[in-house]
Amino acid sequence: MEPVFRPASEAELCAVMTWALGESVPLELVGHGTKRGYGRPLRTERLLDMSGFSGITLYEPAELVLEAKAGTPLAEIERAVAAEGQMLAFEPADWGPLYGVMPGQATLGGVVACNLSGPRRTTAGAARDHVLGFSAVSGLGESFKAGGRVVKNVTGYDLSKLLTGSHGTLAALTTVTIKVLPAPAETRTLALLGLDDRAALGFFGAVARAGVDGSGLAHLPLAAALRISLDEVAREGTAVTAIRLEGTSTAVEERMAELHRLAAAKGTVAILDRDRSLAFWTSLRDVGPFVADHGTNALWRVSVPPASGAAVVAALAAGRSIEHFFDWGGGLVWISTPLADDGGVAAVRTAAASVGGHATLVRAPADLRAAIPVFEPEAPALAALTRRVKESFDPRSILNPGRMYPGV
Amino acid sequence: MKMPPLDEAVLARRDELGAALRAIVGAAAVIDNVEALRAYESDGLTAYRQAPMLVALPSVTAEVASILKLCGEREVKVVPRGAGTSLSGGALPLGDGLLLGLAKFNRILDIDYANACAVVQPGVTNLAITRAVEREGYYYAPDPSSQIACTIGGNVAENSGGVHCLKYGVTTNNILGLEVVLMNGEIVRLGGKNFDAAGYDLLGVMTGSEGLLGVITEVTVRLLKKPATARAVLIGFAANETAGDCVAKVIAGGIIPAGMEMMDRPAIHAAEEFCGSGYPLDVEALLIVELDGNVREVDEQIDRICAIARACGAVSIRSSANEGERLAFWAGRKSAFPAVGRISPDYYCMDGTIPRRRLPEVLRRMTEMSARHGLRLANVFHAGDGNLHPLILYDANKPGELETAEKFGAEILTLCVEVGGVLTGEHGVGVEKRDLMGTMFTESDLAHQQRVKCAFDPAGRLNPGKVFPILHRCAELGRVHVRKGQVRFPDLPRF
Ligand SMILES: Cc1cc2nc3c(=O)[nH]c(=O)nc-3n(C[C@H](O)[C@H](O)[C@H](O)COP(=O)(O)OP(=O)(O)OC[C@H]3O[C@@H](n4cnc5c(N)ncnc54)[C@H](O)[C@@H]3O)c2cc1C
């Protein structure tokens, strides 16, 4: 096992960073290390373990803000906000199980660094929309902060956005301030059985046009549907299209009546009550259907304009054995491909690009992740800008170097 | 307000530059006569004026790219401008700089209902987007009070908000993609019609960058479906404290209204006189709370809010009976600035954000400052998210009053930071709050922000003199301050 630094204060972290900078020793940043398999494999010899920065430092429910050290387990934060009837509205996913790690280990910093969000992304936004501010130590060995503790703030550049989703390549986050929101009083899901991809995505469109704002819009074709336990699917042996409604009980009831009317014309309908609804969306959020393919398949996360989701899959499925499901009303397609042919990278990227989307190789053996671009390659001018941003925060490339792109 | 010194060498080459610009955009799209230049001498922060050296009005991205490349090569500073409604001097021209007007980029390129988005040029006004899609029941959510005039490009550059951003977010939460021209003439596309962009979130960084990082030439905005119904309630209170208390209790009760605005007595009276919205005049504070959604849901929430308000001691409650009344409630609030403009020769609008619970204290201390400076104050306030808009009333024709107003304003903003808030919630730093950045940020904080600037615009030619109190040279910021061997191996637990 590689040597580990586990600083517990900003001063200690600065000291580690200053040393690494002076010696040009690259570091791999981890929280609890649940997503070490995500991104291009690193060739670092030392781990920088951030889990020493732990604990909620401020939580003011009435102000809708929470601040915690970056290594705080997300589960601890979710417990604290649930106790006040609140939630992290971006519904952070737990990808631990995808990489063979027990669930419930992820830290706040890791979730933010990977900009993970769940099915509610379409209505509530992603992690990037909920980070209000942070403190960090950059690859220059200097501590700095940005943003603030209030929801509305445009003072200076929005570095919170820059750091969110930067995969630890720009700075080591020490504290993060996030926005919290009231949790909905009621949540229920309508499951519509038997639609094909095109019909399902078309149905999402019809639902949106009817003004029924579902806070989860997912479609699982039969193969993927059979991989989550849903009695209705097992019984009917069909695909399932799911729409989640959240809000006051009156709001959910009103919308459900409208939704039911629209759905009944399309096929068999089942209603998932609160508990089943929660279990279903948690499983979907954490890419439950494809957790078990570890080592045998490449897992792609394809982000496209929602209405083109089905066309992307149709183009890919021709002559290939893939499995897939849709989240975000069709805008997020999870695709599991055989490892042969570099995990089908050429076909996946061509299909995504043809509709203006992009593809990320979320899980694959390290040799494949080293051989092909994990994140969508950028056009030359943008790639050059990305490199300049990286260099301006981490000139000696000591923070997760090469995690995102060569040299970045 | 100190601006960078004029570059005489650049001024001497003004005519040459004008000719080169004409070759790019045509003679009609370059303005160089003194009279016409004066039309651009300020933005919405009219206390500061400075005519630009030249104005160019490109109409396609390739022209913007050629202009920026030219200005880069000739060492000319560039200030982008949308509609010029910025309240922080973000679009204040430079005497030795080119003002790049985006007004001709005024087309809506693509309305895509299937993906609930629209692709528009940056000079399209905020309201024009909603107007173009409302017949299909859609709208663009962020609604700054200046929405008739301000451009979407300016909205992105300032990350503008509006009275409905409590529930629907500000600009950054409502855009999906951008086309941006960098100072070196390169064109980059960030995001698209999908929900998340690849790579670093440069879309997020561009939003709120105040024209310092790149020129926005195309914006993809999200469209939302108009809720089935919306109703607003006017709630009057005998004291600011109880109004503030009511706001906190609504949020603590798990309700996030579509909008929750507060006005104090002077603002209520000015707005009522201007608009005749039907505001009660015998109260100290007025809340406008809007709920939207399905009919029964809205009714139920309104009942809950009224109950909370009564428990907090509300002295008057009136909910809108129809759409006309709802719009009238908002008309007063949305024209609060011009309304205050009628009761005073000049006003100076502030924009700090505070943790909501500090409101009573901040209002009290602002009242003390008002007495001390001898200038009246009217307050409108995005109460739901703690964003204050104190309006300082003054008369620029009275010697010293502008300076007093500026001093008063700076004290208010410093107070916002002191209680845990920030200098600006939605209007931007610009030139106005530039010199106060040090109250919120350390040297290192500001240096890291400037490093982003260096990655986008290493020569610092785009909108210099704004946002940062001191402009460090990029070479200086890029220096690594550690030499090998000088730092001992840190004494930390390792295994
Ligand atoms: C009466 C009144 C009410 C207002 N109410 C609100 C409100 O409710 N909420 C709110 O947030 N703001 C409000 N504002 C402020 C202002 O309207 C916003 O900041 C608006 O977004 C500015 O848009 P603009 O097109 O006028 O931009 P400008 O004033 O022309 O420019 C603003 C900044 O953006 C830059 N810029 C403009 N276009 C581009 C581009 N295409 N590419 C790169 N940079 C660019 C400029 O360089 C400048 O720094 C109000 C202003 C007034 C006068």
Q: What is the pLDDT of residues B301-349, one digit of tens each?
A: 999 999 999 999 999 999 999 999 999 999 999 899 899 989 999 999 9
Helix (H, G, I), strand (E, B) or coil at A384: helix
User: Does the pLDDT at position B493 exceed 70?
Assistant: no
User: What band does B495 get if pLDDT is binned at 50, 70 and 90?
Assistant: very low
User: Does the pLDDT at position A92 exceed 50?
Assistant: yes
Over residues B477-481, mean pLDDT: 79
CA distance A389 to chain B (A): 5
B69 CA → ligand 1 middle, Å: 25
Collect all residues of chain A within an 8 Å Cβ-Cβ radius of residue B477.
392
Q: Which CATH number fits domain A288-371: 3.40.50.920, 3.40.920.10, 3.30.70.260, 1.10.3720.10?
A: 3.30.70.260
User: Does the pLDDT at position A319 exceed 90?
Assistant: no
| List of residues 6+ apart from B97 with CB closer than 8 A | B52, B53, B76, B77, B78, B79
Side chain identity, residue A289 = P
Nearest ligand 1 atom, CA B44: 53
CA distance B192 to chain A (A): 7
Q: What is the per-residue pLDDT for A1?
A: 61
B137 CA → ligand 1 middle, Å: 26
Q: What is the pLDDT of residues B160-205, one digit of tens each?
A: 999 899 999 999 999 999 999 999 999 999 999 999 999 999 999 9
Whether B170 is in the pocket of ligand 1, judged by its Cβ within 6 Å, is: no
Q: What is the per-residue pLDDT for B3?
A: 83
d(CA B200, CA A396): 19
Record: contact B455-A251, CB cut-off 8 A: no
Structure tokens at B459: 């020569």
Record: contact A378-B295, CB cut-off 8 A: no
Cα–Cα nearest to B237, from B258, B268, B259: B268
User: What band does B484 get if pLDDT is binned at 50, 70 and 90?
Assistant: low
User: What band does B482 get if pLDDT is binned at 50, 70 and 90?
Assistant: low
Q: What is the per-residue pLDDT for B488?
A: 53
Of the residues A154, A179, A207, A258, the best mutation for testing chain B's interface (the one with the most B CB atoms within 10 Å of its CB) is A154
User: Does the pLDDT at position B481 exceed 90?
Assistant: no
Do the domains spanning A1-183+377-408 and A186-285 agree at the CATH topology level?
Answer: no
Structure tokens at B69: 């490349």
DSSP, residue by residue, B178-229:
EEEE-TTS-EEEEE-SSSS-SSS-HHHHHTT-TTSS-EEEEEEEE-EEPPSE
CB-closest option in A155, A211, A405 to B228: A211
Q: What is the per-residue pLDDT for A189?
A: 98
Q: Yes or no: is domain A186-285 CATH 3.30.390.30?
A: no
Q: What is the per-residue pLDDT for A3?
A: 85
DSSP, residue by residue, A298-325:
EEEEEE--GGGHHHHHHHHHTTS--EEE
Nearest CA in chain B to A21: B482
Q: Which CATH number fits domain A1-183+377-408: 3.40.50.460, 1.10.3720.10, 3.30.465.10, 3.30.420.40?
A: 3.30.465.10
Give the domain ranges of chain A: 1-183+377-408, 186-285, 288-371
Q: What is the per-residue pLDDT for B480?
A: 78
Q: What is the pLDDT of residues B21-32, one digit of tens each?
A: 999 999 999 999
Q: What is the per-residue pLDDT for A229?
A: 86
Record: contact A6-B493, CB cut-off 8 A: yes
